[in-house]
Structure 1
């Protein structure tokens, strides 16, 4: 029988700090680097596709290759219009349940050497190995010693490359291929850590949705320029027509508002609202997936269209009632909600007016 002296009271450790409301709601956050290691195959594939979009700023063109005939190329970043005949970099994204080992890469090195030897492409400037669980210590040491990497690649050629490079024949490391192998620059082979990949992924619009953590701070919107831009022409014409409908006159341009101080102030507010929405649209482009702003615009439209199409005394009353309704729309389900302001909701109405989806004076389209 187990003596009582061997039994200890269960005493959970005291928290170092008071728990946050977000922890009570969602649990303790999983670090991003840890989360990547538990991605499913589909999640890893999607994550790599999202990350690859961040490479567009460094290369003229970025393309993803896959399937049995990838020739050792996974994600290629092209530096010139010459494609594989010019300077390019290769990113080999391998998904294993362990840190990348030397035995995992001999076939990949063999492909690069063999297919560049037969002229399928010029050797890449750099060839990076990427794995969700990172690169193991043994492999990392080899990647930092190109001569040792070459020696080990030669020793492992028969076991990994002899029958694995093509489906049609054996590829022996001898003759001209051996000469090419010996002269090959093995310093092109390197690795990228998961932390580096996540950092680059953070520059994409997919990051907040993939990892959470909220949206970055939003900069103040641009002030409307004195002279309206071409993309303002339609909604401004609609505003002037709404004022004209209210006054019972035709307003040819904004200068006609000078005698009407209250309307002139309203005109300036409406332009500020438009630029608020433009700012949000640009913010969405950089921080959330494509279509997020369009979804918000559609939600605003559905929330105001019935008010807009109701009978009103004049166009100005219709525009004012629509703006009031827009300001009351919550839109909490949209990923942009934390960054959303009243002026954005109202400015989106002018985006819709720019497309004639909202009309302040019916029949004016």
Structure 2
């Protein structure tokens, strides 16, 4: 199977910008808003992450996507031209502040000379000034030549060039929070979600479905179980309840893993598939409500439901029914 880095190299321009946009969206803790701006008049911006609601009047990060052609890497000339655009459009008033961080996203890599400049920031600044006429004067805009004025030179001298960095396909593939973007754009299915066990102490997050089961156990045994611990002390129902708790946390681990590593919406589709798989069995007549729970568990345990083509394990599917009971789509006590 081809590596992720190679598949990233094969993305076209739109797909690469989509990938970066989805990746940044998944990093929502870092940004107030992310936006894809890449087009003919993007004024040097492909995808941006705004740190606050001040948008371009506050801190923002710029991700400049450079797909390049097959076998080609991003070189010094094109990189300097893109940097020149940012300083030019900033001075034109298109954005009040310069980017907090500037990232070249080049899946096919960068040339050796450009890498040298990007790893030696003062050399990068010097190259931009020295090669301005060659790379920027006629390359920034089609409508006019842009000579290196004293004003532009002052802004370049004041800017912190340590903010400028790069990501190749190999580096992108290592980003731990790029899973949803890889899943959405490359149709990649992540590895198996981790298994889980129920904690010894009952947690608040599981109380909705547990209270439903507590009522059902009381109805079945003719005992008034006041707390979940009462059920866990019962010689028959304790084992059954503990099994349901394990399934619930198996599903919770599965949910967290795939929300972090698969395309947006994939988990909700999986839950809907679980619901439609069990709803007929759920609605059938059963001798008791506990028999209904067991019938649903047996049915979903034997029926495969996949997420993005990968089959899920039985305890995950069974535990997801308890999540549906928690959010109200299924109620064990109806």
* Fold match by TM threshold 0.5: yes
RMSD: 3.3
- Determine whether 1:65 maps to 2:40: no
* In structure 2, C-alpha distance between the alignment counterparts of 1:194 and 1:203, rounded to whole Å: 12
Give CA-to-partner distance per residue, 1:146-165, whole Å, 9 cap, x none.
2133201234443223x43x
**1:154-206 alpha-carbon deviations (Å, 9 max, x no partner):** 34443223x43xx5x65444354455456666665443222112222664334
Q: In the TM superposition, what is the alpha-carbon distance from 1:62 to its structure 2 partner?
A: 4.2
Does structure 1 residue 223 correspond to structure 2 residue 198? yes
Aligned to 1:24: none
- Distance in 2 separating the partners of 1:358 and 1:55: 32
Aligned residue in 1 for 2:219: 245
Q: Please state whether the residue corresponding to 1:191 is helix, strand or coil.
A: strand
Q: What does 1:24-173 correspond to in 2, within 5 Å?
A: 29-53=1-25, 55-56=27-28, 62-78=34-50, 82-97=54-69, 98-119=72-93, 120-143=95-118, 144=120, 145-146=123-124, 147-161=126-140, 163-164=141-142, 171-173=146-148
Please list the CA deviations of residues 229-263 of structure 1 after superposition, one character each: whole Å capped at 9, or x if unmatched. Answer: 1x433322321232233235654443554784102
1:185-264 correspondence runs (5 A): 188-200=163-175, 203-207=178-182, 215-216=190-191, 218-229=193-204, 231-248=205-222, 251-254=225-228, 257=231, 260-264=234-238
> How many residues align structurally?
327
1:313 to partner: Cα distance: 1.2
Cross-structure match for 1:284: 258
Bigger Cα displacement from structure 2, 104-113 vs 246-255: 246-255
Distance in 2 between residues matched to 1:191 and 1:272, nearest whole Å: 44
Map 1:169-188 → 2, pairs under 5 A: 171-174=146-149, 176-180=151-155, 188=163
Q: Distance in 1 between matches of 2:162 and 2:234?
A: 73
CA spacing shift, 1:319–1:104, aligned 2, 3 Å: same
Identify the residue that residue 269 of structure 2 maps to in structure 1: 295
Does the C-alpha gap of structure 1 residues 177 and 322 become closer, same or farther in structure 2, counting only changes over 3 Å? closer
CA distance in structure 1 between the aligned counterparts of 2:331 and 2:162, rounded to whole angstroms: 64
Give the TM-score normalised by the residue count of structure 1: 0.75
Structure-1 separation of matches of 2:292 and 2:27: 47
- With over 3 angstroms needed to count, the CA separation of the structure-2 counterparts of 1:128 and 1:267, relative to structure 1, is closer
Gapped regions of structure 1 (runs ≥ 5): 1-28
Q: Give the Cα–Cα distance (whole angstroms) in 1 for the partners of residues 210 and 148 of structure 2.
A: 72
